[in-house]
Amino acid sequence: MIAPKAQTFPTPNSTGSKNPTAKIAMVSGAVHSQDKIRERAYELYEGRGREPGQDEQDWLRAEQEILKRKQ
């Protein structure tokens, strides 16, 4: 019996660049954005009088605001 030919697939490159520094910059930017979203979500929480139970809504609203600013 003949063994099937092994298939090889290219490894995904999320940055489109072979430059590792570009990947680090993307991760750093993502962490920075997440920190900004976290800060804004907390501001929204405080603005509601620290009422619990709406953390997900605060996060989503903060995320939307921060991402809109980047455009």
pLDDT in tens, the chain (71 residues): 566 666 665 555 555 556 766 666 666 677 888 999 999 999 999 999 999 999 999 999 999 999 898 77
- Report yes or no on 26 lying in a domain: yes
Residue 36's domain comprises 20-70
What is the pLDDT at residue 8?
62
| CA 3 from centroid of its chain's CA atoms | 43
Angle at CA 25, nearest 5°, toward 24 and 28?
A: 85
The count of structural domains within the chain is 1
Alpha-carbon distance values, 65 to 1, 34, 41, 46, 49 (Å): 61, 12, 10, 17, 20
What is the pLDDT at residue 36?
94
What is the pLDDT at residue 30?
78
- Report yes or no on 4 lying in a domain: no
Q: Distance (Å, rounded) from C-alpha 68 to C-alpha 48?
A: 22
Angle at CA 30, nearest 5°, toward 48 and 27?
A: 155
- Report yes or no on 9 lying in a domain: no
